[in-house]
Amino acid sequence: MARLLNVGLVPYSQVKDIAEGVLSSIDVNGPADAVDATIYYWTTVAILRATDNLGSAYDTIELVLRWLFKRWSPSKRLHCGTRRALIKPNRDVV
């Protein structure tokens, strides 16, 4: 969804109510884990929401950061160990 919003395939105005509903109850309805896709999504929503209404930027960031610090733990190695074997570096990149 974040990518669709970023490239403009889905206008933020069409998902604004849903995104704000999830954001307002992020502790209950938000993603269960802090992974790169969810952080990318919340960053996109924060930027689009601030673009739409600059006054809501502080509230958005506060809610997302509160959710992030509840879900993320530096000592939690859930994804590092299981996905490390799946990631193959691209040796063609210079």
Q: Helix/strand/coil (H, E, C) string of the chain? A: CHHHHHHCCCCHHHHHHHHHHHHHCHHHHCCCCCCHHHHHHHHHHHHHHHHHCHHHHHHHHHHHHHHHHHHCCCCCCHHHHHHCCCCCCCCCCC
Is the pLDDT score of 94 beyond 50? no
Q: Convert the pLDDT of each residue in 21-53 to its tens digit.
A: 888 787 776 677 777 788 888 888 888 888 888
Residue 32 lies in a domain: yes
Which range marks the domain in which residue 41 is found?
2-83
Residue 94 lies in a domain: no
Count of the separate structural domains present in the chain: 1
Residue 89 lies in a domain: no
Residue 31 lies in a domain: yes
Residue 92 lies in a domain: no
